[in-house]
Homo-oligomer: A and B are copies of this chain.
Amino acid sequence: MATDCRNCPFKTKATSMLSDCTLEQLSANHLELKLKKGDSIIKQGTYSTNVIFLRTGLAKIHLKGPYSEQIVKMVKAPTYLGLPTTFGSKINQYSVTAVSDAEVCYIDIDVFENILYGNQDFTREIIQEFCKNELESFRRCANRTQKLIRGNMADALLEFSDNIFKSDTFNLPLSQAELANLVDTSRESVSRVLTEFDKDGVIKVNGKEITIVNKKSLIMISQNG
C-alpha cells in the first residue's frame, strides 16, 4: 500500500522541502487508505502509535462531553492528526471522523519523530501549526461561550463558506444534530435558526444545500448575537 511520497501531490510547505532520501524513508513506512464519509479516522479510547496525515477530505474532531458528544472543530486536508496521542499517552483522547470521502496516510511515530527532529523546517511548521491551533482554540472558547445561538450558527456557516468550501454555496457536511454538537445547542434550535435565517433572506436553504445570500447580514448576526 506504500506509495512513493516523492510524487505525493499533497505535500505541505515543509514536507516539500524534505530530501528525497527522507521522503523515501517515509514512503517505506506509511500506510495509505481511502475512506468514505462517516468512516472513523481516530477513535477515542483506542491505542495508537501513528500520526495520521489527512491528504484529502474533511473531518470533525469530537469527544465525549459530560452529557453528549462535543464537536470541537472541523479540520480539512492537508493536516496532521493525532499528534497529542502519539506524543502523549498513546491512548486517543478524542475521535476524528471523516465527514466527506477522504484519503489518509498512517505514519509510524518513530519515523515521524525522526523526520521531525532531523529537519528544522518541519519542526518549525509543526510548532507553528500548534501555535495557530492554540490561538484558534482561545478565540473559539471566547466566542462560543459568549455568543448566543444565532451568532454561533452564523460563525459556523461563515467558516464553512470562507475557510472550508470557499464558496457561497455548499452542502452542509453535518446533520443538524451534528451542527448542534458543534454550535453547543439543541437540534431543534439549529432547525429553527436555519429557517429564521432563510426567512430573513440571509441564506437560502435547499435540503442540505446552503447559499449565503446576504453575507453582510450574516457577519452582523455573528457580531451582535
Contacts and interface: CB of A to CB of B under 8 A. Distances in A.
A224 to B, nearest CB: 8
A93 B136 CA distance: 10
A66 B145 CA distance: 10
A141 B225 contact: no
A93 B126 contact: no
A135 B184 contact: no
Contacts of A139: 63, 93
Of A68, A116, A142, the most chain B CB neighbours within 10 A belong to: A142
Interface in A33-67: 61, 63-67
A134 B130 contact: yes
Given A117-B123, A123-B123, A134 B63 contact: no
A146 B186 CA distance: 11
A72 B138 contact: yes
Interface in A130-171: 130-135, 137-147, 151
Interface stretch (A12-20, A23-31, A80-88): A80-88
Contact of A88 (B128, B142, B147): B128
Interface string A179-194: 0000010000000000
Interface of A: 61, 63-68, 70, 72, 83-84, 87-88, 93-94, 116-117, 120, 123-124, 126-128, 130-135, 137-147, 151, 184, 223, 225
